Amino acid sequence: MCGIVGLFQPEPSRGADETRHVLQSMTDTLRHRGPDDAGVWVDDRGVIALGHRRLSILDLSREGRQPMRSACGRYVVTYNGEIYNFAALRDELETLGHAFRGHSDTEVMLAAVSRWGLDQALSRFNGMFAFALWDRGTGRLHLVRDRLGEKPLYYGWCGRTFLFASELKALEAHPQFKNDINRNALALFMRHNCVPAPYSIYEGVFKLPPGMMLTLSERLQGSVPEPVPYWSAKEAAERGAADPFTGSEDEAVCRLEALLLEAVKLRMVADVPLGAFLSGGIDSSTVVALMQAQSDRPVKTFTIGFHEAQYDEAVYARKVAGHLGTDHTELYVTPRQALDVIPRLPTLYDEPFADSSQIPTFLVSELARQHVTVSLSGDGGDELFAGYNRYVWGRSIWRKIGWMPMGLRRGVAKGITALSPMSWGAVFDRFGSVLPTVQSPGDKLHKLAELLGVEDPDALYAGLASHWKQPTQVVIGAIEPPTLLTDRPRWARLDDCALRMMFLDLVTYLPDDILVKLDRASMAVSLEARVPLLDHRVAEFAWRLPVAMKIRGGQGKWALRQVLKKYLPLELVDRHKMGFGVPIDSWLRGPLRDWAEDLLDERRLDKDGFFNPRPIREKWAEHLSGRRNWQHHLWDVLMFQ
């Protein structure tokens, strides 16, 4: 895993030596992504300059250094990620007469592009990557991001210079960079708790969306062409729905198991110590089980626990590790250790990011890095196999309320909101023997009241995906720009509302939130995180599985659970999903109260000029009183502040 940097200046305003100096400064900001080595390459005219920070995983020798030039001399690449099937590609290329000097996947990547061209090579790559490829023959620069968005890539013009990098901090190091806040992107952040692609928090700076390629040439001074897809999640979902798996359930489970075994095996190739995150949930347990089944020694596994029972999964992880026989390490985190991460968050993320599970994700990465350099993760299983509760109960709720006239639904919603969440909590406490056990029942009932007013199940999803429902009333001077979530023609044509939710999560929530969180948290401690469930062959097969093989008996991940039941006893498989969170709600009323009060001070908000203080202060007062739990809305504001 690495960090990449580059600049492209069709009309160089500085010489090659000065360009090299600027590039070196930008590259140095990414040392955490690649502490083992660094390299820069500048062409003779100073038109193109590529920088690289290396975390050595494969071919630890100098033959794996980047930026790297192809054997034919035509291409130069700076590359972040892994091509997992590089060994098979190398064998094929050797039979075609290609000779290799080292053993890195980077050299194989360049040879594949030289032999087959970029488009065909991309179709053959199985991996996670973001790279910049300079074609000396055509004078074109290609920026490419992997299919599902595991690796990041930012870009934009800075005067007459086009910049790109793995993280915003590298762009900020350019002497002419302007850090003007994009208020429209800030409004999107307040809605989604992250800044969705293609936007960034800065004006004129963008993220390359997953599965896309952006090509520039010297004649395109100052303009940025539209990225073009080389792989489409929309097409994969629609193909899967049009060509569903027709074998038996046993055959489907066996096929899924075989694909997962291969995906895990490919991601266990490394020349450095390797392990896995283990929460005890379905996804991470499946990954670890398949790792251990293919390893001749105990797999190193890592988990963190919390002393607050409702946030603690470590007990389940311990049981899974014990059954599988892994070399397990766990750390019970004190509130002080978790709180100490908060001052580091702006440096880790560069732009506002308010998924509070960023804290435990960093802590488990930090724990793992003390023992290994590569760690496999179970991310992606929820989006591909229907793991989120909203797929199950959102579908169920709409079936129950969709027939009701809007007036009746609004009346029911009004009745629910007549009692505060705190009052509903008291009702559940008093009648707990006859009511279901629900965490924060009042907040969930008020959430239900919001959903009762939606027009269709797609609007229901939009409500679930929103924190601040009217963010332009909070962000001064903002106009909420279009996103994939608001552009329905770009959605996959899927009949079932649960499948549409899964698709939207796969192309928005997963790359913009989950994978950003994993990349920044792991890279902050120079740890490479690999995600076997996002092997594109697994993703494409998952879309072929009927809904009944995903959601069954009011529970998601049916097919994945059947695979896991081959390796773990039933009691470790059939349990309710827990989130990977921290008690932000109580911290804001306790140890974080003074810190938050300072950042949410009405005079400060007014002086900064980004937020309308009134709705923020209202939610802060309600949260402190215990009448409502506004932790997510407040955390959005606090992370920007």
Catalytic positions, please? 2
Whether the Cβ atoms of residue 409 and residue 452 lie closer than 8 Å to each other? yes
CB atoms within 10 A of CB 273: 12
Report the alpha-carbon distance of residue 637 to residue 622 in Å, rounded: 15
CB 596 within 8 A of CB 588: yes
Q: If DSSP codes are grouped into helix, strand and coil, which group holds residue 581?
A: coil
d(CA 14, CA 531): 41
Cα 470 to the center of its chain, rounded Å: 25
Within 350-440, residue ranges assigned H as helices are 358-369, 381-385, 389-401, 406-417, 421-430
Torsions phi, psi for 335 (to 5 deg)? -55, -35
Nearest one of 301, 277, 309, 333 to 517, comparing CA atoms: 277
Angle ∠(411,417,420) on CA atoms, nearest 5: 160
Q: Can you give the C-alpha Rg of the chain in angstroms?
A: 25
Q: Per DSSP, what are the bridge partners of residue 215?
A: 142
**538 and 368 Cβ atoms separated by less than 8 Å:** no
Q: How far apart are the first and last CA of the chain?
A: 30
**What is the b/e burial string over 151-180, where b = at least 16 CB atoms within 10 angstroms of the residue's CB?**
bbbbbbebeebbbbbbbbbbbbbbeebeee
Task: State the CB neighbour count (10 A cutoff) for residue 484.
Answer: 17
Backbone angles phi, psi at 64, to 5 degrees: -95, 5
CB 298 within 8 A of CB 322: no
Q: What is the dihedral of CA 581, 584, 590, 594, to 10 degrees?
A: 140
